[in-house]
Amino acid sequence: MSKQAREQLKHWAQDLSTVAVLTDIDGTLAPIVPTPDLSKVPKELRELLRCLSGRCRIVAAISGRTAEEASQLIGLEGIVYYGNHGFELLRGGEVEVIPEAAPYRTAIEELQEKAREELGPLGAFIEEKGITTSIHYRNVSSEVGERCKAFVKREGERLGLRITVGRGVVEARPPVHADKGTSVRRLVEEYSPERALFIGDDTTDLDAFRELEALREEGMLTETLRIGVKSNEVPSEITSKSDLVVDGVEGVEEVLRMLAQDG
């Protein structure tokens, strides 16, 4: 870690009540493992987050997983969990859908019900994620896969939803701009920290980096710190857009320890 970064973290540690700690989970707090359900946040890191959540203005985890999954992974109550592409958050045990997306809940439910009736018997798996839904067709014939895509596109668009196709999966979500960047902005607007850092390791984290910079330029934040986590698969943009690059989950732990002035 550079001397400058060290000095900055020390300086922030003087008054944590003005600091927002915002972080990705997978690949940042939890090492990447072959299947996502085996992910784990190391105990030491969890303890540091617990300590910081009691002293910082806010500690928030922002993940592509659902907010519920994110909260189960970390398992701390004092943290805000933003999940599902920025469409929902969990705090104090309650899941909240962002106001712009909430009106689309019935459309998502209607699509899920139709998909269960039409595509379920063909072998597709309908994953219900609250305010979004994913229809998986990896384990069916390509003919059935095409049918799934066509069905979700047609019905989803009729219901006013945004449809995206991935590998073996078609997703429906509200036609509302939401990502890790919008999550960062909402948190800063709501909790009014003076300084904020974001830690991430992947392309979707760049939206959060970008928003931090925008908030600083607008005067909403006085200081920001974009921390990139280096791993084998890290996109080059993450390291080039970071103020500080750390080595894996251990590097993240070092940053948080410095902030907590613990050792």
The catalytically annotated residue of 24, 26, 179, 205 is: 24
Q: What minimum distance in Å lies between the beta carbon of 214 and Mg ion?
A: 21
* Binding window for Mg ion (CB under 5 A); candidates: 160-168, 173-181, 183-191, 195-203: 195-203
CA angle 141/146/149 to nearest 5° reads: 125
| Footprint on residues 15-44 left by Mg ion (CB under 5 A) | 24, 26-27
**Does the annotation count 26 as an active-site position?**
no
Q: Which stretch binds Mg ion (CB under 5 A): 2-10, 173-181, 196-204, 240-248?
A: 196-204
- The residues in 80-109 that bind Mg ion, with binding defined as CB under 5 A, are none
For the bound state, the minimum distance from the C-beta of residue 130 to Mg ion, rounded and expressed in Å, comes to 21
The sign of the dihedral angle between the CA atoms of 246, 251, 252, 255 is: negative
Is 179 a binding residue for Mg ion by CB under 5 A? The answer is no
Nearer to Mg ion, 24 or 88 (CB): 24
Q: How far is the CB of 45 from Mg ion (least distance, A)?
A: 14
Instruction: State the nearest-atom distance from the C-beta of 148 to Mg ion, in Å.
Output: 28
Residue 173 CB, shortest distance to Mg ion, in Å, is 19
Long-range contacts of 134-137 (CB under 8 A, 24+ apart): 134/169, 134/170, 134/171, 134/172, 135/169, 135/170, 135/171, 135/172, 136/168, 136/169, 137/168, 137/169, 137/170
Position closest to Mg ion via CB: 27
Q: Which is nearer to Mg ion, 26 or 155 (CB)?
A: 26
Question: Looking at beta carbons only, is 16 or 187 nearer to Mg ion?
Answer: 187
Cβ within 8 Å of residue 232, ≥6 positions away = none
Residue 201 binds to Mg ion (criterion: CB under 5 A): yes
Binding site for Mg ion (CB under 5 A): 24, 26-27, 201-202
User: So which residues are the catalytic ones?
Assistant: 24
